[in-house]
């Protein structure tokens, strides 16, 4: 209970930070953050999915695994950076609201796990190179990565159901 009270008062404090209050004068900013957030999430999930499906042997089999992983790597992480920054700005004005939704914490946790797994898949993919056979454990890891990103999106849409944000 004290934890919840503390979270709520912390959330309200964040909402009333002077720069957050100043930002509310420019509602257009929120639209800009949302557009960048959605776009960068599609970029993360889309590029990860292509690498995952390639490693699992389900897509783009004529393209070299390590070349694909290496080429898309910077874009996946650009997407992650952009979505983290815009996500933070979307969170701040409604901080207390987000704190009332368990899906918000599940989402943050899943993002962290998904990022670690994506790093492992990237590393595996770079090592594979021209090797013809992909070990079953590496394929499984790629499919787990894909499932985690879908889990992140599910947690994200559940937030809107749980909290009035």
Partner 1 sequence: MQDLLFAFCKWLQSTWLGHHVGSTLWAYPYVQLIHFSGLSLWVGTIVILDLRLLGLTLRGQSVTELADQLFPWKWTGLGIAVIGGISLLSATATTYFHNPAFRVKFPLVLTGIAYHLFVQRNVTKWGRDRSLPIQARLAGFLDLAIWLGVITAAVNIPNY
Q: How far is the CB of 77 from partner 1 (least distance, A)?
A: 12
Which among 31, 7, 6 has a CA at the least distance from the CA of 96?
Answer: 7
Pick 5 or 25: Cβ nearer partner 1: 25
Q: How far is the CB of 5 from partner 1 (least distance, A)?
A: 28
Asked whether 142 and 59 are in contact (CB, 8 A), the reply is no
Q: How far is the CB of 61 from partner 1 (least distance, A)?
A: 8
Which among 152, 125, 118 has a CA at the least distance from the CA of 55?
Answer: 125
Q: Could you tell me the two tokens for 146? A: 């894909």
Interacting residue ranges for partner 1, rule: CB under 8 A: 31, 34-35, 38-39, 41-43, 45-47, 49-50, 53, 59-64, 67-68, 71-72, 74-75, 149-150, 153-154, 156-158, 160-161
Pick 8 or 151: Cβ nearer partner 1: 151
Which among 107, 111, 104, 87 has a CA at the least distance from the CA of 33?
Answer: 87
Q: Note the Cα 55 to chain centre separation in Å.
A: 20
Asked whether 147 and 110 are in contact (CB, 8 A), the reply is no
C-alpha distance from residue 103 to each of 28, 47, 165 (Å): 27, 24, 13
Q: How far is the CB of 37 from partner 1 (least distance, A)?
A: 9
Pick 15 or 70: Cβ nearer partner 1: 70
Q: How far is the CB of 18 from partner 1 (least distance, A)?
A: 26
């Amino acid at each position: 209970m004290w934890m919840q009270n503390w979270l709520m008062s912390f959330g309200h404090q964040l909402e009333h930070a002077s720069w957050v209050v100043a930002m509310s004068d420019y509602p257009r900013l929120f639209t800009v953050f949302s557009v960048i957030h959605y776009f960068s999430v599609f970029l993360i999930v889309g590029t990860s999915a292509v690498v995952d499906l390639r490693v699992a042997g389900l897509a783009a089999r004529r393209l070299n695994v390590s070349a694909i992983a290496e080429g898309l790597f910077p874009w996946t992480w650009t997407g992650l950076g952009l979505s983290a920054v815009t996500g933070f700005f979307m969170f701040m004005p409604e901080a207390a609201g987000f704190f009332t939704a368990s899906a918000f914490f599940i989402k943050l946790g899943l993002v962290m796990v998904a990022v670690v797994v994506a790093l492992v898949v990237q590393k595996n993919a770079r090592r594979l190179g021209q090797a013809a056979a992909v070990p079953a454990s590496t394929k499984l890891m790629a499919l787990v990565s894909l499932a985690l990103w879908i889990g992140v999106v599910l947690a994200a849409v559940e937030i809107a159901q749980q909290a009035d944000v």
